[in-house]
């Protein structure tokens, strides 16, 4: 009976919010284009695919091999996370049309998106939605001059922060699954990269004047520090501390998450990481790039060399772009031009980017958002030379 009710809820939602038309099997052509044109085409794609309610993606289109997830909570979690990323991207693009779309998305995140909760005993995908909602709302709040709208944004961000407090693991930090005890406080060892992404969002939230509990920040910083290995790599999760030589914890397997973890620790002034560590992480990222390329667009998680998943591709390069901005001005342009060229060559003919399509219809909007966030930072760094 419960299953029938859940399916009925999903069906009613899809009836009012139809899924996109099927895409022919096989890759669309890709082509590299000048940086400004790539940004303009990606922005156009996001604007054209924003839903009337202000969000991106529906969760109503299945490719037949989507990741493990309950209905409808998994789809809602990824809808919130994707919308947070898209709002952030359009805000940094900064054109009048992009800002208008970003404001619609931010209002949705602060209202409808704030209803996001844990899916079931196993699944805690909501933490990704909460993390990127906090980060997007923090960016909007810093730029907002209208007191009424600022109050709405702040209230929504505080709800998302509280949800992250509620779903923090027993060790501190976050994991998006709990296959152990199924407790109210998640029992699964937290993932280094999810915890690091939360710390980056919290840094922006704190800077925007949003209250973030000190105890939560400290426990997350401590967790990421404990996941750091001596070779500037990071354990996939705290549960890997007894098997640090597993392939996923070796340098190629850590490429994507190393950038985020370094950025998170630098953002909070941790003595565990220096700018030299950030430079090494960036050098490794480009020297070992082929391993991330081998995982890009593979639908099965961790099937590529060193257990790399496709969804680490744009995620990892986004945090690399943030690290480049931390370097001295004289160093930024060379790194930025290299990163920009790498991202632009993967742009699809229709203007979007994607790296992992076993996630309903969220792959193109989140991939495009990450890519735009990267390219705008690279453009700014190159212009400052």
**What are the pLDDT digits (tens) for 307-363?**
999 999 999 999 999 999 999 999 999 999 999 999 999 999 999 999 999 899 999
Rounded distance, CA 136 to CA 175, Å? Answer: 21
Q: Is residue 258 part of a domain?
A: yes
Share of the chain above pLDDT 90, in %: 83
22 occurs within a structural domain? no
pLDDT at residue 4 above 90? no
Per the CB < 8 A criterion, the answer to whether 238 and 173 are in contact is: yes
Mean pLDDT of 59-87: 91
174, pLDDT greater than 90: yes
Residue numbers of the domain that contains 202: 32-383
247: CATH: 1.50.10.20
Q: Read off the pLDDT of each residue in 293-303 and give the average, rounded to a whole number.
A: 93
pLDDT band for position 181 (50/70/90)? confident
CB 309 within 8 Å of CB 302: yes
pLDDT number for residue 17: 53
**Residue 180's pLDDT band (boundaries 50, 70, 90)?**
confident
The count of domains in the chain is 1
Tell me how long the chain is: 385
Classify residue 20: in a domain, yes or no: no
> Residue 361 forms beta bridges with which residues?
359
Phi-psi region for residue 280, left (φ > 0), alpha (ψ -120 to 50) or beta? alpha
Question: Is the pLDDT confidence value at 266 over 90?
Answer: yes
Asked if residue 6 belongs to a domain, the reply is no
pTM value?
Answer: 0.93
- Please indicate, yes or no, if residue 78 is contained in any of the structural domains: yes
pLDDT band of 2, cuts 50, 70, 90: very low
In a domain, 2, yes or no: no
Average pLDDT score over residue span 170-180: 92
**Is residue 10 in some structural domain?**
no
Q: What is the dihedral of CA 331, 327, 318, 140, to 10 degrees?
A: -120
The average confidence (pLDDT) of the chain is: 92
């Amino acid at each position: 009976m419960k299953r029938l009710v859940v399916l009925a809820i999903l069906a009613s939602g899809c009836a009012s919010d139809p899924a996109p038309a099927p895409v022919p099997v096989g890759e669309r052509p890709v082509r590299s284009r000048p940086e400004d044109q790539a940004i303009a085409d990606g922005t156009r794609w996001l604007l054209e695919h924003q839903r009337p309610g202000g969000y991106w993606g529906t969760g109503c289109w299945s490719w037949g091999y989507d990741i493990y997830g309950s209905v409808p909570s998994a789809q809602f979690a990824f809808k919130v996370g994707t919308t947070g990323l898209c709002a952030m991207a359009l805000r940094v693009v900064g054109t009048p049309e992009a800002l208008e779309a970003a404001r619609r998305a931010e209002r949705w995140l602060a209202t409808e998106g704030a209803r996001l909760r844990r899916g079931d005993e196993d699944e805690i995908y909501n933490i990704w939605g909460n993390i990127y909602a906090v980060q997007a709302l923090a960016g909007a709040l810093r730029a907002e001059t209208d007191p009424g709208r600022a109050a709405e944004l702040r209230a929504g961000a505080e709800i998302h922060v509280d949800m992250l407090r509620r779903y923090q693991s027993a060790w501190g930090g976050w994991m998006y699954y709990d296959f152990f005890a199924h407790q109210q406080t998640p029992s699964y060892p937290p993932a280094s990269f999810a915890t690091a992404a939360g710390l980056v969002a919290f840094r922006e939230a704190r800077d925007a004047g949003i209250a973030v509990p000190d105890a939560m920040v400290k426990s997350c910083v401590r967790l990421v520090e404990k996941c750091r290995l001596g070779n500037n790599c990071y354990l996939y999760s705290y549960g890997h501390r007894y098997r640090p030589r597993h392939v996923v914890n070796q340098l190629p397997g850590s490429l994507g998450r190393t950038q985020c973890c370094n950025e998170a620790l630098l953002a909070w002034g941790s003595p565990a990481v220096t700018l030299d560590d950030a430079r090494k992480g960036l050098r490794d990222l480009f020297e070992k790039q082929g391993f991330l390329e081998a995982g890009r667009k593979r639908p099965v998680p961790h099937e590529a060399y060193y257990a790399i998943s496709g969804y680490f591709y744009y995620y990892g390069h986004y945090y690399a772009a943030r690290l480049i901005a931390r370097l001295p001005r004289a160093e930024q342009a060379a790194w930025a031009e290299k990163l920009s060229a790498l991202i632009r060559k993967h742009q699809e003919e229709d203007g979007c980017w994607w790296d992992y399509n076993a996630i309903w219809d969220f792959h193109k909007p989140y991939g495009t958002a990450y890519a735009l966030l990267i390219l705008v930072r690279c453009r700014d760094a190159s212009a400052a030379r």
